[in-house]
Chains A and B, each alone.
Chain A
Amino acid sequence: MNADEFRDRLDHLGAEISAWPDQDREAAERLLASDPAARAHLGAARRMDDLISHAMQPGSPVAAASADRVLRAVSQPLPRQRRSPLWWAWPAALLEVDLAPARLRIAALAGVAVLGITLGLLGPDIASSDGGFAVASASSDLAAVFDPEPLTGVRP
């Protein structure tokens, strides 16, 4: 790890090196022991964390006064609540059923069903317009029409 890589890690992992993953932390500690530039990066990162944290603290009296004004505003007569129509109650109850543990199996079942339907619609028994069917039709031998296909065993 060099100083630039160290600064990149600081951006991603924060200035609290003790919380870094072991491998990164050990490499950082080795670098800090020998590289003044790395130590300067760490100092700058800590300083910036401190500046941001301080700047993000609102002035308490100001926030309290704002909150009081908001609370006064919402203490006026409240508007009417939005309630779900009765017909939605049953689907909404279904949506609340926690299917999380079975989602994989449900998805597999649905996938197999879709595959089955697709094969049923596009499979060889309907799509086949091979010569056998034409020959069979032309020969007017109805029994042959319903015979299994000799190679695949699929019935027309």
Chain B
Amino acid sequence: MDEASDEDLMQRIAQGDEPAFRLLARRHARSAVGLARRIAGNEADAEEVVQEALLRVWVNAPRWRPLASFRTWFYRVVVNLCLSRRRRVPFVALEAVPDPVDPAPDPAADLERRQADQLVGAAIGALHDRQRAAIALTYGEGLSNAETAAILETSVSSVEALLVRAKRTLREKLSDVLP
């Protein structure tokens, strides 16, 4: 069953196959948490969003139609839940969460990098929700503009406009760390 495609697993889940659901959840949970964390901006909301999205997969599997790939549909659910969620916890830039200590060969360069990351994380956190979602999907997930458009349920040109506005805003805010 490990080699089954997402869509095949969905067919089985539609029949009430719990092991198929757990396999599909394991397959996507980590990337979905990463995506949700980039958009929602904090760990707790990201976990709640992904948990809710996975339960929606299970509950609605019998009515799911393979009109798009499972990943596109699942990411759309995750993104929509992130965007519609009223933030109960302020946005915390990813880099504000301490990483494990890494024995870097150049501590000064590492410190500089961390400071830059904090600035960038805060600037991304202050973007409009859909701009942040577009940045998270393209830069974070490495998706094309077309895939991002499918997830955000908009056109490719709208995604391009979101990215252009986001980059211009970031350029203004990050003038200190840009050459």
Q: Is B26 an interface residue (CB 8 A)?
A: yes
Measured between alpha carbons, how far is A23 from B63 in the docked complex, in Å? 48
Given contacts A52-B124, A81-B59, contact A67 B37 (CB under 8 A): no
Q: Which of B7-28 contact A (CB under 8 A)?
A: 14, 16, 18, 21-22, 25-26
- Cβ proximity bits B94-122 to A, threshold 8 Å, 1 near / 0 not: 11010110000000000001001100110
Given contacts A11-B167, A66-B46, contact A51 B120 (CB under 8 A): yes
Contacts of B100 on A, CB cut-off 8 Å? 59, 61
Q: Which of B150-179 contact A (CB under 8 A)?
A: 160, 164, 167-168, 170-171, 174, 177-179
Is there an interface contact between A62 and B99, defined as CB atoms closer than 8 Å? yes
Q: Is A99 an interface residue (CB 8 A)?
A: no
Is there an interface contact between B51 and A66, defined as CB atoms closer than 8 Å? no
Q: Give which listed residue, A43, A48, A63, A74, contacts B30 with CB less than 8 A.
A: A63
Is there an interface contact between B51 and A70, defined as CB atoms closer than 8 Å? yes
Q: Is A56 an interface residue (CB 8 A)?
A: yes
Contacts of B171 on A, CB cut-off 8 Å? 44, 48
Interface size of A by CB at 8 A reads 38
Q: Is A40 an interface residue (CB 8 A)?
A: yes
Is there an interface contact between A55 and B58, defined as CB atoms closer than 8 Å? no
B17 to A: closest C-beta gap in Å: 11
Given contacts A11-B167, A52-B139, A67-B33, contact A82 B63 (CB under 8 A): yes
Measured between alpha carbons, how far is A34 from B100 in the docked complex, in Å? 46
Q: Is A103 an interface residue (CB 8 A)?
A: no
Is there an interface contact between B30 and A55, defined as CB atoms closer than 8 Å? no
Q: Is B81 an interface residue (CB 8 A)?
A: no
Q: Give which listed residue, A51, A62, A71, A80, contacts B174 with CB less than 8 A.
A: A51
Q: Is A47 an interface residue (CB 8 A)?
A: yes
Measured between alpha carbons, how far is A58 from B86 in the docked complex, in Å? 23
Q: Give which listed residue, B34, B47, B121, contacts A69 with CB less than 8 A.
A: B47
12 contacts between A and B (CB under 8 A): A12-B160, A51-B117, A56-B135, A58-B34, A70-B51, A71-B25, A71-B26, A74-B58, A75-B22, A82-B63, A83-B62, A84-B62
Q: Which residues on B are within 8 Å of A, measured CB to CB?
A: 14, 16, 18, 21-22, 25-26, 29-30, 32-34, 37-38, 43, 46-47, 50-51, 54-55, 58-63, 65, 93-95, 97, 99-100, 113, 116-117, 120-121, 124, 135-136, 139-140, 160, 164, 167-168, 170-171, 174, 177-179
